[in-house]
Structure 1
Amino acid sequence: MIDLKNVSVTFSGDQQKEIKAVQDVSLRVAEGDVYGIVGYSGAGKSTLVRTINLLQRPTNGQVVVNNKILTNMNESELRNARKKIGMIFQHFNLMDSRTIFDNVAFPLKRSTLTKKEINDKVLDLLELVGLGDKAKAYPSQLSGGQKQRVAIARALANDPEILLCDEATSALDPKTTSSILALLKKLNKDLNLTIVIITHEMQVVKEICNKVAVMEDGYVIEKGSLLEIFTSPQNQLTKDFINTATHVDQGIETVLTHPTLLNLKENDVLAKLSFVGGSTSEPLIAKLNNSFQVQGNILFGNVEILQDTPVGTLLLVLSGSTEKIAEAIDYLQANEVTVSIISTEYIEERQKKEEGE
């Protein structure tokens, strides 16, 4: 569907200094994907998404959409190709002097549709995004979420196969963001709409995307399925982003810096357990006690559902004989549970740091 091949974008800055906004990025977005591109401000993600419809022409590389090389097209060919690539923005970009109906109808001005066909189509689109009663209203009369719904309806006017979303929820409150993401998810499912979402919020990626790429300084530093990225991040920046959406690390840090919560005794082992899929439904703690005479005291727990797959984290104090605890850990690992032992030295270091602050 979308194939970016070694795409780079370089701008000329002050004093003839070059700014490398995107550097040698290769990405493939399959039909029906909801692909998230996440990164902090200045990472190059917005520049990258604008190369998909060539609003930003790459300095180097090739952009292929639906097996057509957009970077080889002339302006006339490009205008036609762009009709199948809708785009929505952070600040909606609506025309304040026009009604909601006219805003949605605007992309159809030069279409071959009759006036009645345009009228019917616009009203259908407004119904689709939940604004069937707002056709005669003006943008100033709508909330931020409603404005974004209008922008989505307008982006769908030419029946696009791809929808590009550039920080489309950044100006919205959390509740409104959830409703817009739910709408995008519905459009992806009902219309088989391929969606590319640019965001700095990993929570947005977690809620809607099936694939994700992480950008830093113009490079894609990590990419994969949502499940792969969340369960096995390779880069520290990716781990930091994930933590903003799950808060697992903060929860564990809170426990580690409070000795009264730990209350470790001799031979006790503090362990972090991470598990995916079927193992989350197993009565692991009961099994440790029944089969190995090892007690597991849960200090922290978290379960996420990612792409219909449970992903969990537990912080446990394992109590029992050294030999039995070792057997219990072997059992957990054999059952696809990742076990990380947290040393007492690490705990003491965290506690000293907390006291110093």
Structure 2
Amino acid sequence: MNTLSVAVKLYDNYERLEEIKHYYGLLAIYGLLRTAEAGGDNLLMERCLAILKRFPDEVDHPPYNFPNYRIGGIARAYAFMKGHVPESANQIREYAEELMQAPRDDKGILKMPGAPEANLIWIDVAMAATPYLLFSGIGLREERYIEEAANQTFLMIEEFRNPENGLLHQCKNFVGPGRFSEDHWSRGNGWGYIALTELVQYLPRQSPYRERAEREFRALSEAMLPHQSKRGFWRQEIPFEYSYEESSGTGLILYGYGVGLRLGLLDKERFGAAFERGINGLYRHGVTPEFDTELSCPGNLCPGEGEEKGTVKAYVTLPLPYRNEHHSFGSFLLAFSEAYRHGYHELITE
């Protein structure tokens, strides 16, 4: 089946299941925008812009850690950067400034605003902060936003990286003061990786942050590569061979691999083979004939209780995957739209 048609049908299914909002929904809208661009589909682009027009007033918003979600977050900032919604300039700037003033820990990392005294930081924020500030900065020609996009990513990658294997932990201070979660969670590594992916993809060529962004991108790419499963997935606990295969993190990693290959930052032979195996596996084992998604874990921020909180055991036994989990759709759309750019125009199940 046509790769972009698969992406659109996945979004259609997601739209039937729930109102699309929050960070995972906005990632899906972003994926739909990239799908429209990959196929040069003007009608699909019009649909994307109509979806964005519902924000903020026609959406029933829950409480958000980052208020830019109210206007469409990453999706609106990207559409603005690309010149599709020039009327959004004031909104984009307002919420970029809000993010610039949001609470930070003593190292300058954005922290959970609801409990500032606990200094709760988590890698998921790399996806929340970096693309929005980066796209806003490019679109508004505001260097401060671009600088902070790079700064937040580098600070989080440095803070959460396990020097023994190069993979990322999810969070710090949730288990106790100064303590990291023990995990190397699939989607958590994907959240850090997508921030690096957007930096290497969109930082201006002359940017003083480009060299480090490319270096960090290659390093995380290499750290994840040995752990791909035979079916093309990365596992919920990436280095643990008995953990289940997890699709949302896999989709984010494949998106990054595709971008890295397209930009010439990753070795074509090694990463090209991993990208192809992953795209095929994600479609064959992650998408049903009805365009449901499989194998995505639910949200899990430092799961577990007592002594098991934040342990590998908690990550692989408590947040179990299920069909049509709402974090999955955006990562699938990003992976498949990027696959199309690489010439994978048809996906097959055998």
Pairwise TM-score range, normalised by the shorter structure: under 0.3
Structure with bigger helix share is 2
- Larger CA Rg, structure 1 vs 2: 1
Structure with bigger strand share is 1
Structure 1 length normalisation: TM-score?
A: 0.25
Structure 2 length normalisation: TM-score?
A: 0.25
